[in-house]
Amino acid sequence: MPTIFIDGQELQVNDGENILEACLNAGMDLPYFCWHPAMGSIGSCRQCALVQYQNEDDTRGRIIMGCMTPVTEGARFSLNAENATEFREAVVESLMLNHPHDCPVCAEGGECHLQDMTVMVGHRDRRYTGKKNTYRNQYLGPLIHHEMNRCITCYRCERYYKDYAGGTDLGAQASHDHLYFGRHEEGLLESEFSGNLVEVCPTGVFTDKPFLKQYSRKWDLQSAPSICTGCAVGCNIAPGERYGNLKRVHNRYNHDVNGYFLCDRGRFGSGYVNSEARLDYAGIKKSDGSFMAVHQQQALDTAANWMQGKKVAAIGSPRASVESNYLLRELVGAENFAAGFSDTEAKLMASVSQILQTTKAVNPSIKQIEAADAILVFGEDVTNTAPRVALALRQSVRNKSFELAEQMGLPQWQDAAVRNLAQDQLSPMLIVSAMDTRLDDVASQCISLAPDQIAEFGVAIVEAMAGEPTSNTQANEIAQILQCAKNPLVISGTSMQHWGIINSAVAIAESLCGKKSSCMLSLCVPESNSIGSALLAGDMSQPLSHLVESAPEVLLVMENDLHRRLSAQQMQQLMGEGTQVISLDMLENPTLGASDMVLPAASYAESQGSLVNMEGRVQRYFPVFQPANERMPSWQWLLKIAAATGHKSLSKLEHFDDVVAACEKNHAQFDGLAIAAPDNSFRDRGLKIPRQTHRYSGRTAMNAGVNVHEPQQPHDTESPLAYSMEGLNRDQPASLTPYVWSPGWNSNQSLQKFQSEVDGPLKGGTAGQRLIISTAKGATKKSENSTTDMQPHQWQLVPVYRVHGSEELSVNTDEIAELAGHSFVALGEVVAEKLGVVEGDGAIVASGDIEVSLEVKILQRVAKNCIGFAAGYTETMAFQAGSLASLTKDKKWQRREPQLIASDKTIPDPMISTGGSARV
Amino acid sequence: MSKKEMIQSDIGSVLSAQEIAEIDAELAHIPYKSGAAIDALKIVQAKRGWVSDECLQGIAKYLEMSAEELEGVATFYNLIYRRPVGEKVILFCDSVSCWIGGCDDIKSKISNVLGVDYGETTADSSYTLLPVPCLGACDRAPVMMVGDDLVTHLDDKKITELFGSAANGSAK
């Protein structure tokens, strides 16, 4: 560790870091703009200037850029030298020449890095009296608002969007004082990760558009540490609430999982929490089929009455928490409980959880995935099924450039130099899939095969690695690439709903694990708690179809829209006469509609629970705000039902922590659940962690328009957080960080004050706890490969996933629904030509007794005999992956007009409100 | 039709066969297609005077780069014109030597005669007036270029000779 001197202070610093990092690590406030811990340095903004001295006798020194200067033994710097502080102030003054004085109407105000830096350098008065440059803003889609006048040309947006996230449709244009960051033409930003621009931009050029429409300042938001429920990755998020509405979702740093970035589904897909389709009250179905709203107690009494002495069964949900699923299972008994997977999914999830518990391969975190130097993507369109993992894969292909840089003695953070050196050289990424994936652009090789053939191809790779001669040259090649790698990764998953694919992926990964070598194996699963549900189910769980046939008298369905998992016929059988169905969920859906009683559940933002992500890490989410009306978290509903029915063991439980303890005690596989986050008794310096910022305004007055009586602050009896501004948000366990804020650092850049070191874990550790530790016995099974017999004019249906559209809950958010668009059938160019259709035409897809007319989408590469259908879309919900279908042109199809994005309506002027009038 | 042919025909509707041939000639010298970006823009501009959105998209497609990336290149260079210009572009030097030589007055005279300021095109589309930071002819300052011709030792007389006088309107 080199020793350096800053203003005479002796510092031990990390080898290979730069002075800016060294200063931040030492807790010094050195302003910066263009540097980002995940993106390195380019020395563009000139803000992090210091003075460097030749030696002890040098009193003049010279100005250097902190982010571009590596630490060297004995080097001497000054942060506070007059010429350094003057220089830094001059930089801000020059940036402010063109920056508008629009902070009061800017969405970044109050959490603006530019504001912070301006104050930090002491620049107060503008001397410039000339005109400011103005720019035309662009329409960038429903998620991102563009305000180019505010730009300080730090290049962070372009570097993030193009270099880091692999987007192609945002760039720097023109030069010097008329630099412009935008698209070639107005239009939707195409990257699935565009939302991070909101946090990457140091000022208000790119802001959260849905948030703008119901804006509150950061200091007025009530936040809680939470976990994204959009997929199984388990990104840590910090949602903010005010006036009972979930306003926005910000990234919450987790060193091992999401780091600094989220996908757009995670950031923008929570609008459904405020949806009008939310259930407010319990309801009992009347004879005319409509629901009568009843009070909570009445609903509980009725439910208890129905359940008394009856054969009760229950269906849990892989999108509900471990605790809720545990309670439901206890309530009805393991033999009457189905985890809530479809039959195919249940088998896949059981084997995935088995694999994770026994595999010889390393089950990596996202951080570890970024270190892979050869990647085999096996039958998975990762960008659309586990988006944040795909962003990590885009970093792992850069390991080639870091290797080259190391040979040249270049530090990794020298971003421009490293990119220049490597040009387009990337680490090998091999994609074997049925169709296009959104990582094709960084792949060294893409192979299109039907699902059965993917599994077979995997077997050939394993044979080639074992040294058995194989005629498959591609398999030989891939085997060789993987064997030559130091840190290979095989990534696959359940999205093709094909057991053989997963099995082959495991076999490939395990045959790469030898005495001296290892391989990472990552498996993508569908929902936020799929693994948790699989762990809970163990081998004991009832397949959903058994439950259907067992014809229970009373059926409890929790947070599960069964029509996504069962055929219409099965639904009818299950929900038909003779069974009284009690459903617990948030949003109107067909299952609720077919139930006899509905109970309003709280969303993730209004409840707490634990979710087990795809790597087997259990993480806790906490309520951001209290549920409105008679909504209640599922676990509370279930405890109340248990009490009402006099359940023997459950009626003794009262609090969330009791449920956690009971679950941990009764299920060895959940050992560690309790330490995922501190319990309700946690106090920091005698106080709970505050959800509200220290500047939270109008706490007692914000509802004065409704009622002038000042309400008491709600008490949180269940979690270590308080609905209060009292308490400290500093150095607490990482799982309890509701937002980041530090004196002088109001923006999200204050994160560095919470990190143990630049880009390191938080001071409070890393949130979450690995539940699954593999026994490393080996999970490879002999697979019997299935082959589908194809008749002429038949096609195999392959599910095609979309970040926006395939997920059940997020699609109830207006902006996401617009981006999801219509359901579609995906064809290769050749098939489309034979069929006589082009993109946007219609084709009729018939499979079994289902026949749907769908819009045609043309893909670049499609495996022979395969066609894709939109997975998770209502129109194509009934299609089974792998089943056969016929395809004809729909001659009556009306081509749709190019979609007008409805949410691009102008933001209503607050001065022209509908209620009341400013006029006298 | 092969994929390459499809792209060709697609581009063909935007770029002329001759333009494509000239771009191909440049491509023969370089390892990366996008390396021909500047040359391709110059080729198209030489034929059409400026680079339209359609042309830019066509070139981007042909060079297998995104329109955003090519836009970045096109707008970086101020001698690639992304808006229509007049038949001749006047590149008027306003740098140090020419300024000492009194270029401000001459610029006023030009503006007066042609009725255009910097960045504007005469109503009859004959001239576009643009400032330029140096033409490398300081020994003969003040100077400007009109189309491809360098005009040196500028004075009122030369301006009148070239463009007529304000009284008889702009050139034509």
What burial letters (b/e) apply to A216-253, b meaning 16+ CB within 10 Å?
A: bbbbbbbbbbbbbbbbbbbbbbbbbbbeebbbbbbbbb
**For residue A426, is it within any domain?**
yes
Task: Give the model's pLDDT for residue A202.
Answer: 97
Give the nearest chain B residue to A162 (CA atoms): B69
Alpha helices in A127-286 (DSSP H): 156-158, 196-200, 209-212, 264-268
**Do B53 and A185 lie within an 8 Å CB cutoff?**
yes
**For residue B159, is it within any domain?**
yes
Taking CB atoms and an 8 Å cutoff, what residues of chain A touch B3? 829
By residue range, what is the domain housing residue A372?
362-518
Using a CB–CB cutoff of 8 Å, tell me whether B75 touches chain A. yes
Residues B119 and B151 in one domain: yes
- Around Cβ A501, how many Cβ atoms within 10 Å? 31
Query: With 60 as the cut, is the pLDDT of residue A906 above it?
Result: no
* Distance between CA atoms of residues A163 and A157, nearest Å: 10
Residues B49 and B95 in one domain: no
* Closest chain B C-alpha to A131 CA, distance in angstroms: 18
* Distance between CA atoms of residues A150 and A489, nearest Å: 42
Give the nearest chain A residue to B6 (CA atoms): A829
Using a CB–CB cutoff of 8 Å, tell me whether B104 touches chain A. no
Residues B7 and B54 in one domain: yes
Residues B121 and B58 in one domain: no
Q: Are strands A337-338 and A312-315 parallel, antiparallel or unpaired?
A: parallel
| B94: CATH | 3.40.30.10
Task: Give the model's pLDDT for residue A898.
Answer: 66
Task: Tell me the average pLDDT of chain A.
Answer: 93
**Do A184 and B56 lie within an 8 Å CB cutoff?**
yes
Tally of domains within chain A? 3
Decide if A260 contacts A251 (C-beta within 8 A).
yes
Query: With 70 as the cut, is the pLDDT of residue B172 above it?
Result: no
**Mean pLDDT score, B138-153:** 95
Write down which residue in B53, B76, B99 finishes a domain.
B76
* Weakest-pLDDT range from A229-243, A431-445, A570-584, B100-114: A570-584
Write down which residue in B47, B76, B105 finishes a domain.
B76
Share of chain A above pLDDT 90, in %: 87
**For residue B71, is it within any domain?**
yes
**For residue A613, is it within any domain?**
no
List the beta strands (DSSP E) in A299-341: 312-315, 337-338
* Adjacent-strand bridge partners of A870: A800
Q: Which residues touch A267 (CB under 8 Å, ≥6 apart)?
A: A143, A195, A196, A198, A208, A237, A249, A250, A251
Confidence of residue A535 (pLDDT cuts 50, 70, 90): very high
Helix axes of A343-358 and A530-537: crossing angle, nearest 10 degrees: 90
Phi and psi torsions of A562, nearest 5°: -65, -20
Decide if A858 contacts A829 (C-beta within 8 A).
yes
* Distance between CA atoms of residues A29 and A755, nearest Å: 14
Three-state DSSP state, A546? helix
Task: Give the model's pLDDT for residue B10.
Answer: 62
* Strand order, beta sheet including A580-585: A291-294, A282-285, A597-600, A580-585, A554-558, A312-315, A337-338
* Distance between CA atoms of residues A260 and A498, nearest Å: 33
Query: With 60 as the cut, is the pLDDT of residue A904 above it?
Result: no
Residue of A164, A555, A562 whose CA lies nearest to A340: A562
Residues B98 and B27 in one domain: no
Which amino acid does the sequence have at A75?
A
Taking CB atoms and an 8 Å cutoff, what residues of chain A touch B67? 169, 184-185
Give the nearest chain B residue to A182 (CA atoms): B68
More confident residue, A538 or B140: B140
| A89: CATH | 3.10.20.740
* Weakest-pLDDT range from A43-52, A263-272, A510-519, B134-143: A510-519
**Do A173 and B76 lie within an 8 Å CB cutoff?**
yes
More confident residue, A792 or A22: A22
Task: Please tell me what DSSP assigns to residue A163.
Answer: I
Residue of A858, A720, A884 whose CA lies nearest to A798: A884
DSSP per-residue codes, B33-81? GGGGHHHHHHHHHHHHSS--HHHHHHHHHHTT--HHHHHHHHHHSTTS-
Helix axes of B53-62 and B37-48: crossing angle, nearest 10 degrees: 140
Write down which residue in B76, B98, B116 finishes a domain.
B76
CA distances to A114, A149, A295, A311, A416 from A180, rounded to whole Å, are 18, 9, 57, 67, 20
**For residue A893, is it within any domain?**
yes
* Closest chain A C-alpha to B132 CA, distance in angstroms: 14
**For residue B158, is it within any domain?**
yes
**For residue A490, is it within any domain?**
yes
Task: Give the model's pLDDT for residue A896.
Answer: 86
**For residue B81, is it within any domain?**
no
Tally of domains within chain B? 2
Phi and psi torsions of A673, nearest 5°: -60, -40
Query: With 90 as the cut, is the pLDDT of residue A540 above it?
Result: no
Decide if A495 contacts A381 (C-beta within 8 A).
yes
Residues A254-277: tens digit of each pLDDT: 999 999 999 999 999 999 999 999
Residues B61 and B123 in one domain: no
By residue range, what is the domain housing residue B65?
3-76
| A814: CATH | 2.40.40.20
Q: Which residues touch A788 (CB under 8 Å, ≥6 apart)?
A: A450, A452, A796, A882, A884
Q: Which residues touch A291 (CB under 8 Å, ≥6 apart)?
A: A283, A284, A285, A598
**For residue B60, is it within any domain?**
yes
Confidence of residue B1 (pLDDT cuts 50, 70, 90): very low
**Mean pLDDT score, A752-772:** 94
Whether the complex's predicted ipTM is more than 0.85 is answered with yes
* Closest chain B C-alpha to A847 CA, distance in angstroms: 31
Residues B98 and B155 in one domain: yes
* Closest chain A C-alpha to B70 CA, distance in angstroms: 9
| B59: CATH | 1.10.10
**Do A169 and B66 lie within an 8 Å CB cutoff?**
yes
**For residue A663, is it within any domain?**
no
Best to test chain A binding among B32, B59, B66 (most A CBs inside 10 Å): B66
* Distance between CA atoms of residues A662 and A682, nearest Å: 19
Measured in Å, how far apart are chain B's first and last C-alpha atoms? 50
Which amino acid does the sequence have at A187?
G
Structure tokens at B163: 């463009």
**Do A170 and B67 lie within an 8 Å CB cutoff?**
no
Residue of A723, A695, A910 whose CA lies nearest to A217: A695
Task: Give the model's pLDDT for residue A918.
Answer: 28
Query: With 70 as the cut, is the pLDDT of residue A541 above it?
Result: no
Residues B72 and B92 in one domain: no
Tokens 């001059």 correspond to what residue?
Answer: A90
Query: With 70 as the cut, is the pLDDT of residue B2 above it?
Result: no
| A414: CATH | 3.40.228
Taking CB atoms and an 8 Å cutoff, what residues of chain A touch B32? 423-424
Residues B92 and B161 in one domain: yes
Decide if A404 contacts A388 (C-beta within 8 A).
no
Using a CB–CB cutoff of 8 Å, tell me whether B80 touches chain A. no
Residues B61 and B118 in one domain: no
In this prediction the pTM is 0.94
Query: With 90 as the cut, is the pLDDT of residue A783 above it?
Result: no
H or E stretch including A206?
Answer: strand A206-208
Taking CB atoms and an 8 Å cutoff, what residues of chain B touch A171? 66, 68-69, 71-72
Write down which residue in A96, A127, A151 finishes a domain.
A96
Taking CB atoms and an 8 Å cutoff, what residues of chain B touch A170? 68
Residues A96-114: tens digit of each pLDDT: 999 999 999 999 999 999 9
**For residue B83, is it within any domain?**
no
Using a CB–CB cutoff of 8 Å, tell me whether B64 touches chain A. no
**Mean pLDDT score, A671-685:** 95
**Mean pLDDT score, A163-183:** 94
**Do B76 and A170 lie within an 8 Å CB cutoff?**
no
What burial letters (b/e) apply to A513-534, b meaning 16+ CB within 10 Å?
A: beeeebbbbbbbbbbbbbbbbb
**For residue B117, is it within any domain?**
yes
DSSP per-residue codes, chain B? --HHHHHHHHHHTTS-HHHHHHHHHHHTT-SSGGGGHHHHHHHHHHHHSS--HHHHHHHHHHTT--HHHHHHHHHHSTTS-SS---SEEEEEE-SHHHHHTTHHHHHHHHHHHHT--TT-B-TTSSEEEEEES--S-GGG-S-EEETTEEE-S--HHHHHHHH--GGG-S--
Q: What residues in chain A have their Cβ under 8 A from chain B's Cβ atoms?
A: 168-175, 180, 183-185, 423-424, 829
Confidence of residue A787 (pLDDT cuts 50, 70, 90): confident
**For residue A695, is it within any domain?**
no
**For residue A257, is it within any domain?**
no
